[in-house]
Chain A
Amino acid sequence: MYTYSTSETEETQDITAVGLPHLEIKDLNVYMEGNHILKNINLALPNNSVTSIIGPSGCGKTTLLKTLNRLLDDTQGVVVNGSVLVNGEDIYAKGAEVTHIRKKMGLLSQKPFPLPMSIFDNIAYGPRIHGIRDKKKLGPIVETQLRNVGLWEEVKDRLDQSATRLSIGQQQRLCLARGLAVEPEIILGDESTSALDPVSTQTIENLLIELKKDYTIVLVTHILRQARRVSDYIAFVYNGEILEFGPTEQVLLSPQHEITRQYVKGFIS
């Protein structure tokens, strides 16, 4: 039984992660403009697997994701207490350097946002920022990542074209390749297929399943079927708390918590 409960009395942890978890959240509390959005989040995300965060809208799923790579830093009125450990290093520690933390986490947002530059430059953007300027080194990186997401054959002859000319499905794959180019360890996805057509959605889902061999993946989704298709673990967030966490089949088919059951059955949304 892999259950992670937030009640203080019961605490059964049994993570099948080998070694140190890549990503671990401890006692995380997030306040936005005084409102307590995330309450006492404790979660160790299993390595090399896909964890989906599900829950009714407005309950803090996206906020949770954004705290993982400190993307809330710029928003006014946000207070974050607690720690998020990446390979044991707390990214919210005093003096922690934000850019190299973010480098470790690739973010795939809801709508693809290609940067205003060519396809090549989009993928090369990350490596260039981090010091790789040599065209000879960048070329292979770009090709590798485009192959990884299955875009290479489609765009290899037009790498100089603006990335905005791609179809939306291609753009999202481009964004994935862009994120992979900086060699993160963790991939974060925020409803990353909700703007796509079914075919592109399936492509991205299959890519994520492939990628979990090498990365720890955390996805926010409101499509239960997707969570079932793609993830190994599910965390159910309700009202800013993690009510339930466990392997996919267990959370979806035999949830422990009453509210989880109601959500999964579609009684609340």
Chain B
Amino acid sequence: MKGSFGFLPFIMGTISVTLIALIIAIPLCILTAVYLTEYATASLKNMMLPLVNTLAAIPPVLYGVWGVLFVVPAIQQYIAPIFGINTSGYSVLAGGIVLAVMIFPIMISIMVEVLQTIPYELKSASLSLGATKWETIQHVVLIKAKPGIIAATVLAISRAFGETIAVLMVCGNVPKIPTSIFDAGYPIPALIANNFGEMMSIPLYDSALMFAALLLFVIILIFNLISRIILNKLEGKYNG
């Protein structure tokens, strides 16, 4: 780790893990949120929402343990062989899956809130024209909710970027650009966590790492601001 500090592998690592997590989480969360607000009975809702919130309370280290115990072997034994690939299981895919579950609660809770602000009369207008509920959801509800869905995604991304521990435990920590989802990767937070200890001995190293931390901080800051602006606009619109 001397000489040049190319950040590219680490950035690619962070991006790939986050991308996989989003691909898994966004459809699942939209469908779940829509189901909870439009189709589920009140009792089902009251059961599911606390469960989803409990997911939010689980500390990342436990997600990491689950990743090691369940996700990594699952990839090694079941998923990778389908594609004919040999892997230890410690991969960006594992990181993506674990990260996806971690962002479920935040995405679902924001999406549910946003969907609940859609005025009932708007849905009535579509239903009165003879549309089915699902058509109403597709063409009216989700369109109206789009900014909120984007805000939820952006917030989830910022959470995903910062997630150190769980991902570190299942990613393989190999500093190269992952070429397939079964490759190991090395996201930025993991880089910071793993190498801080050595930072004392190599002077240039520590400023590079601090730069990494700063980079992370700034990116997350920007994402948080963006989603906050979107959400504030939405709240203002519907409270007016």
Interface, chain A (partner B; CB < 8 A): 69, 71, 74, 76, 99-100, 102-103, 105-107, 109-111, 113, 115-117, 125-126, 129-130, 175, 178-179, 182
**Are A109 and B130 touching (Cβ within 8 A)?**
no
What are 11 residue pairs bridging A and B, where the CB atoms are less than 8 Å apart in the complex?
A102-B129, A102-B130, A103-B130, A106-B128, A111-B121, A113-B121, A113-B125, A115-B139, A125-B129, A178-B125, A179-B128
**Are A71 and B139 touching (Cβ within 8 A)?**
no
- Which of B119, B122, B124, B131 has a CB less than 8 Å from the CB of A71? B124
Complex Cα–Cα for A178 and B129 (A): 8
**Are A109 and B121 touching (Cβ within 8 A)?**
yes
Complex Cα–Cα for A102 and B135 (A): 14
- Which of A74, A130, A175 has a CB less than 8 Å from the CB of B125? A175
Among the interface residues B119, B132, B139, which one has the most CB atoms of the partner chain A within 10 A?
Answer: B139
Residue of B at shortest CB range from A77? B42
- CB neighbours of A129 from chain B (8 A): 129-131, 135
**Are B129 and A113 touching (Cβ within 8 A)?**
no
Q: How far is the CB of A33 from chain B (nearest CB, A)?
A: 13
Does B126 sit within 8 A of A, measured CB to CB?
A: yes
Does B159 sit within 8 A of A, measured CB to CB?
A: no
Complex Cα–Cα for A99 and B135 (A): 11
Beyond A71-B128, A182-B130, 16 additional contacts (C-beta under 8 Å) are A71-B127, A74-B133, A76-B41, A103-B129, A106-B129, A107-B124, A107-B125, A109-B124, A115-B125, A116-B140, A116-B143, A117-B139, A125-B126, A125-B139, A130-B130, A182-B129
**Are B126 and A115 touching (Cβ within 8 A)?**
yes
**Are B127 and A113 touching (Cβ within 8 A)?**
no
With A71-B124, A125-B126 known as contacts, the answer to whether A115 contacts B140 (CB < 8 A) is yes
**Are A100 and B130 touching (Cβ within 8 A)?**
yes
Does B228 sit within 8 A of A, measured CB to CB?
A: no
Number of interface residues of B (CB under 8 A): 20
- CB neighbours of B132 from chain A (8 A): 99
Residue of A at shortest CB range from B123? A74
- CB neighbours of A125 from chain B (8 A): 126, 129, 131, 139
Complex Cα–Cα for A100 and B42 (A): 28
- CB neighbours of A111 from chain B (8 A): 121
**Are A117 and B143 touching (Cβ within 8 A)?**
yes
Among the interface residues B126, B133, B144, which one has the most CB atoms of the partner chain A within 10 A?
Answer: B126
Complex Cα–Cα for A107 and B122 (A): 12
- CB neighbours of A106 from chain B (8 A): 128-129
Residue of B at shortest CB range from A121? B139
- CB neighbours of B143 from chain A (8 A): 116-117
- CB neighbours of B130 from chain A (8 A): 99-100, 102-103, 126, 129-130, 182
**Are A126 and B42 touching (Cβ within 8 A)?**
no
Residue of B at shortest CB range from A103? B130
Complex Cα–Cα for A157 and B51 (A): 52
Complex Cα–Cα for A65 and B119 (A): 19
**Are B131 and A69 touching (Cβ within 8 A)?**
no
Interface residues of B in 50-82 (CB under 8 A from A): none
Q: How far is the CB of B217 from chain A (nearest CB, A)?
A: 36
- CB neighbours of A105 from chain B (8 A): 128
Complex Cα–Cα for A178 and B140 (A): 14
Q: How far is the CB of A163 from chain B (nearest CB, A)?
A: 11
Among the interface residues B41, B42, B127, B132, which one has the most CB atoms of the partner chain A within 10 A?
Answer: B127
- CB neighbours of B122 from chain A (8 A): 113, 115
With A113-B119, A113-B121, A113-B122 known as contacts, the answer to whether A107 contacts B128 (CB < 8 A) is yes
- Which of A102, A116, A117, A130 has a CB less than 8 Å from the CB of B128? A102
Q: How far is the CB of A115 from chain B (nearest CB, A)?
A: 6
Complex Cα–Cα for A115 and B135 (A): 13
Complex Cα–Cα for A102 and B143 (A): 23
Q: How far is the CB of A141 from chain B (nearest CB, A)?
A: 13
Complex Cα–Cα for A125 and B125 (A): 11
| Those 10 A-B pairs whose CB atoms lie nearest each other, nearest first | A103-B130, A107-B128, A126-B129, A113-B125, A99-B130, A102-B130, A116-B143, A113-B122, A129-B131, A113-B121
- CB neighbours of B129 from chain A (8 A): 102-103, 106, 125-126, 129, 178-179, 182
